[in-house]
Amino acid sequence: MDSVDIFRKEAHKMVDWIADYYADIEKYPVKANIKPGSVFSAIPDSPPLEPENMQQIFSDFESIIMPGITHWQSPGFFAYFPANTSFPSLLAEMLSSALGAQCMKWETSPAATELEEAVMNWLRQMTDLPDNFEGVIQDTASTSTLCAILTAREKATGFDANNKGMAAYAGMRVYCSSEAHSSVEKAVKIAGIGRDNLVKIGTDNTFRMDPALLEKAITLDIQNGLSPVCVVAAIGTTGSTAVDPVEEIARICSKYKIWLHIDAAYAGSAFILPEYRYLLKGIDQADSFVFNPHKWLFTNFDCSAYFVKDSESLVNTFKLVPEYLRSQIREHVNDYSNWGIQLGRRFRALKLWFVIRSYGLNGLQEKVRHNVALAAGLKSWIEKQANFELLAPVEFGLVCFRFHPRGIDDINTLNALNEQLLLAVNATGQVYITHTKLDGKYTLRMVTSQTNIERSHVEHAWNLIVNTAASIHTI
Ligand SMILES: Cc1ncc(COP(=O)(O)O)c(C=O)c1O
């Protein structure tokens, strides 16, 4: 396979395979339906000693790997939040793989660094974030949130916790709502702040953080000699896309000089639409903001856009320049390995550039609006079905609901019924939906943010759910 001619031949075949895959994607069962361990047991225990030809490898890919794939790009995929891709993004990923550049510093690929700075400026403008925010691409929102909490920790200690370790700085406190993503908890564990110092603030009946409870918790901690360092507010919680009241939370953070990080992992893409920007009121008081173009901006996983107001603090938190990485050019360019955890970095900016240019802002707005309209349509169908009910407001492209036949009000019975419904619907292979619990209620979640989703797909999924519900419980 070292010959460029063989590569050319095989690559053409694979591009054809990829095009066919997308053309036929709806023929695959959306959720992989294999027995645990079956792929592992089909793989030889030891690696081959001699070269194998691509035909054989590819044939095993089709027979062993493909049955174990869940088809995230299928328009029948309504699960979790999506990890969207698109053809322009795929093309850029091909080029990025081909270049194989490791873009840790400006010198190691100047174009990668400079394109990253440029496309992050584009994204900032597209989402109307404040001009004094600077962006860097991280792998995931979990990493971005960890960077925010580490920077908050360092800023609060004059960048000294990095020197002395956390034993010298006990009693730090971080706050988020009880609906915040588990990545916040992971970050406080990793940052050495400790899970016991993550204060989960209660929410109102639409799952938004209650700012009065936040201020109460902060003042109590200060009275007890503890040090509040960071609040993580969510715009679009994972369970129900609830939006914490940013303006009120920002006011509290400013008052007590606490770092405010905003986790908009999924919903942040909606800010390319002016009609959503009222939710950003108070953002100028925030310190950092993350959203994932890999969730809802049609850009291959992984690509997380992390914006920070005070990039100097971010760099001071992470910067280390051992001799073997020293170079002459420092002043006018960014070395993004100092803007986060890992040294080595993929060339991720390329796919964002391809996507933004291929669709244009108008094209991206049209796609996101279309996804939002599909969720609104599903919401209206649920409202018309007497035996179903919505369990949370529909803000973006997520609809939370449950089957609630008349006469059944016991929560355990309803939870069991909805779990049975979810399993039965997913077993058809036509759609894949997931669940959460809201107020203890087993909740079906459907996300209508797929790249290639049309009204017919949502309609089909909804009819399937209604008919399956009727078959497991006589309505
Ligand atoms: C609100 C929120 N934050 C963070 C995450 C974690 O995202 P990532 O997989 O990019 O770490 C998710 C994932 O769905 C999320 O919904």
For residue 212, is pLDDT > 60?
Answer: yes
- Please provide the average confidence, as pLDDT, over all residues in the chain: 95
Q: Is the CB of 238 under 6 A from ligand 1?
A: yes
Q: Is the CB of 147 under 6 A from ligand 1?
A: no
Q: What is the pLDDT of residue 473?
A: 80
Residue owning the nearest CA to atom 9 of ligand 1: 140
Q: Is the CB of 141 under 6 A from ligand 1?
A: yes
- Report the separation in Å between the CA atom of 180 and the middle of ligand 1, taken as the mean of its atom positions: 10
* Confidence band for 266, pLDDT divided at 50, 70 and 90: very high
For residue 74, is pLDDT > 80?
Answer: yes
Encode the chain in three state secondary structure.
CCCHHHHHHHHHHHHHHHHHHHHCHHHCCCCCCCCCCHHHHHCCCCCCCCCCCHHHHHHHHHHHHHHHCCCCCCCCECCCCCCCCCHHHHHHHHHHHHHCCCCCCCCCCHHHHHHHHHHHHHHHHHCCCCCCCEEEEECCHHHHHHHHHHHHHHHHCCCCHHHHCHHHHCCEEEEEECCCCHHHHHHHHHCCCCHHHEEEECECCCCCECHHHHHHHHHHHHHCCCEEEEEEEEECCCCCCCECCHHHHHHHHHHHCCEEEEECCCHHHHHHCHHHHHHHCCHHHCCEEEECHHHHCCCCCCCEEEEECCHHHHHHHHCCCCHHHCCCCCCCCCCHHHHCCCCCCCCCHHHHHHHHHHHHHHHHHHHHHHHHHHHHHHHHHHHHCCCEEECCCCCCCEEEEEECCCCCCCHHHHHHHHHHHHHHHHHCCCCECEEEEECCEEEEEEECCCCCCCHHHHHHHHHHHHHHHHHHCCC
Testing ligand 1's pocket by substitution, the residue of 292, 295, 434, 436 carrying the most ligand atoms inside 8 A of its CB is 292
Q: How far apart (Å, rounded) are the C-alpha atoms in residues 343 and 412? A: 49
- Candidate from 18-27, 277-286, 312-321 with smallest mean pLDDT: 312-321
* Confidence band for 142, pLDDT divided at 50, 70 and 90: very high
Provide the residue type at 227 as one letter.
S
Q: What is the pLDDT of residue 332?
A: 73
Testing ligand 1's pocket by substitution, the residue of 263, 296, 398 carrying the most ligand atoms inside 8 A of its CB is 263
Nearest to 349 by CA among 98, 82, 103, 72: 103
Q: Is the CB of 89 under 6 A from ligand 1?
A: no
CB-CB neighbours of 34 under 10 Å: 11
Q: What is the pLDDT of residues 339-368, one digit of tens each?
A: 999 999 999 999 999 999 999 999 999 999
Q: What is the pLDDT of residues 267-309, one digit of tens each?
A: 999 999 999 999 999 999 999 999 999 999 999 999 999 999 9
Q: Is the CB of 266 under 6 A from ligand 1?
A: yes
* Confidence band for 324, pLDDT divided at 50, 70 and 90: low
* Confidence band for 175, pLDDT divided at 50, 70 and 90: very high
Q: What is the pLDDT of residue 328?
A: 57
Mean pLDDT of 32-52: 95
**Rounded percentage of the chain residues whose pLDDT exceeds 70:** 97
- Report the separation in Å between the CA atom of 232 and the middle of ligand 1, taken as the mean of its atom positions: 13
* Confidence band for 2, pLDDT divided at 50, 70 and 90: confident
* Confidence band for 333, pLDDT divided at 50, 70 and 90: confident
For residue 474, is pLDDT > 70?
Answer: no
